[in-house]
Amino acid sequence: MRRLSIIIFAAIAATTAAPAAAQPTLLELRFASEDVPPGGVLQAKLEVTEPKPISTGDGAFAFGPLQEFLGLAVNSPNGDAAAAAVIGGSSVRVSMISPTAELGMEPDYPILTVTMRAPAAAQLGSRVPLTLMTAAEFLDPTGLPYPYSFTPGIATIANGVSVANVTPGSALVPAGGIVTVDGSGFAPDSELRINEVSVAETRFVSSTRLMAVLGQAATMHGRRVEVRNPGTNQRTTYFAFQRTTPLGASADPLFRVVEPAFAQRFFTDAFVDFGPTTTSVPGIALQSIGVAPVLVTLDLLSRGIRLARVSGALPADTRLVRSVAEIFGVNCAAACAVRLHAAAPVQVMGLSGDIARGLAVPILPIVEAQPQLRTTVNAPSVAAGDTLVVAGAFTPGSTPVIADAYVVLRTPSGLMLSLTPSGLVPSLVPFVRGAAWSGTLTHELLRTVVPGGTPAGTYEWLSALAEPGTLNLLSGIATTAFSVVP
C-alpha cells in the first residue's frame, strides 16, 4: 500500500523523470542466538540487520535436533506478508511474499519466526545450530536478487524460562482483556512485558502460565512478548502469532507437510487466481481466528465458468491446507481460480505446489470490494456569504474495518488542510481515529459560511481510510471538487 501522504502530494507535484534504478545493496540476515530448556520451546528468529525492502524470499533452514514443529509467522510493518513452509523433520523450506515489499523494513522485528520444541532429553550445555541449508534468494521491489550475507545462530540448551504460546496470538484484545502466556520456568515474581502495550497487571497462575491484563487495546500479531525472572535474570522473548489447530492433514503428499503463515488480512469475499496450473499443483489454505464457526463457500472457476462449489463450517481457531482437487473433487488445468465467500472474516491464500522442488509458493487473494469514504458538497460553486456543507459517505467493503478517516482540503494554491472536528488545520491529521466502520453511513462533516476574501478558484476534498495510527491506505483516495467564485 502506498502511504497517504505520498499519494496526496504526488497528485499535485510536477511530473519528473524517474531516477535510474539503484543496484541492490547487501542484505544482511542472521538468526538470533537463544537459550532453551530441555523440553522447552524455541522460537528461531530470522532478522535483517538493516532495513531492506523484500518482495519475495525463498530459503531452506535447518535447526539441528530440534523437533515438534509448532508453527511459523512472517512480520511486515503493514501486515501484508505471507509465507508457506514445507516441513521436513528439523528443516523447513520457506517461500515468502510481500506485495508492497514492506518485508524487511522493520529491523526491530524478525521477518520470519519458526517455533519448535527442544527434545526433553537434550543435554544441558549442548548447542544447536540455526542455519541456512542451501543458497537462498531474496528479491528487491524491482525483482532483482539481493546479494546477501547470512550469520547462523546458536540455540544453547540451558535451564531457564521459555514461552511456548501466546493466546490470543493475532486477534485484537480490548483494554482490560486478558492475554495468556504459556511456557515453562515462570516464577511468582516473573515480569511480563508486551512491546508498545501497557500491561495493567501480571497474574502468576503456575510455573507454566502467566496472564496479562492489558491496559490498552492491542492487536497481538507480531508483538514482542518478554518474560524475565528477576531472581535469576533469566529472560526470553517471543513474537506472538495465532497458533490455530489444523483440521487434519491433506492427502496430497506435498500439502500434507505445508504450513501456512497468513498475511494479516481478513476476508468475507476474496478471489484467488492461480492462472495456468499445468506445471504446479494448486492448493488453498484457510484460517479462522474467531471464537465461533464460520460458514464458508468456495467456487472453483475456469475462464469465468464455475466448475464446482463446496460449502461448510470452518471451526473456530482452526486452519486447513488442501489441494484444489481434494476440496472440489475435480482438477483445473488452465485459468484456474477460487472464489471465497464467508459469513464472517477469515484468512485465505492460494498455494502453488511444486512437488519436484519440494516447494509451496503463497498466492495472495484479491479483495473483491474495498471500503470507500467519499465526500459530497451542497453546491458545485459557492461565493462569500454562502453556506458550504460537506458530508462524508462511507461504503463498506468486504469486511468491517477499524480505521482512521482523513478528509483533506486542497486549495487552488496547492495548500493541504486537514479537516478535524474543531476545523481545518495545516497538517496531515485524521478527522476520526480508530473508528469501527461496517454498514453504510452518511454524516455531515462541516457546515460553514464562506468568509469574505476567500481566494477564487477550484478546491478539492480528498478523503480516504487508513490503518489506525499509520498512513497505510485501506481505501482509495476519493476526490470531490467545488469552486469559489467572486
Give tens-digit pLDDT for 230-256. Answer: 989 999 999 999 999 999 999 999 999
Helix (H, G, I), strand (E, B) or coil at 69: strand
pLDDT at position 437: 77
Query: Is cis: bond before 468, omega within 30 of 0?
Result: no
**How confident is residue 395, by pLDDT bands cut at 50, 70 and 90?**
confident
pLDDT at position 434: 87
pLDDT at position 401: 67
| Closest to 369 (Cα-Cα) out of 401, 324, 347 | 401
More confident residue, 261 or 331: 261
User: Residue 8 above 50 pLDDT?
Assistant: no
Cα gap 440→431, rounded to integer Å: 18
pLDDT at position 275: 76
Task: Give CA angle at 223 (134, 241), nearest 5°.
Answer: 60
**How confident is residue 269, by pLDDT bands cut at 50, 70 and 90?**
confident
Residues of the chain with pLDDT > 70, as a percent, come to 92
Contact 285, 321 (CB under 8 A): yes
Contact 111, 96 (CB under 8 A): yes
Sign of the alpha-carbon torsion through 377, 380, 383, 386: negative
Q: How many CB atoms lie within 10 A of CB 107?
A: 14
- What integer is the mean pLDDT of 261-266? 94
Least confident of 299-308, 342-351, 437-446: 299-308
Cα gap 288→265, rounded to integer Å: 11
- What integer is the mean pLDDT of 42-70? 92
pLDDT at position 17: 41
pLDDT in tens, 124-158: 999 999 999 988 999 999 999 999 999 999 999 99
Parallel, antiparallel, or unpaired for β 478-484 and 381-382? parallel
CA atoms within 13 A on the CB side of 310: 13
Grid cell of 317 as nine digits: 481457531
> Which run of H or of E encompasses 7?
helix 4-12
pLDDT at position 189: 95
Per the prediction, the chain carries an average pLDDT of: 89
pLDDT in tens, 443-457: 999 999 999 999 999
pLDDT at position 241: 95
CA 128 to chain centre: 30
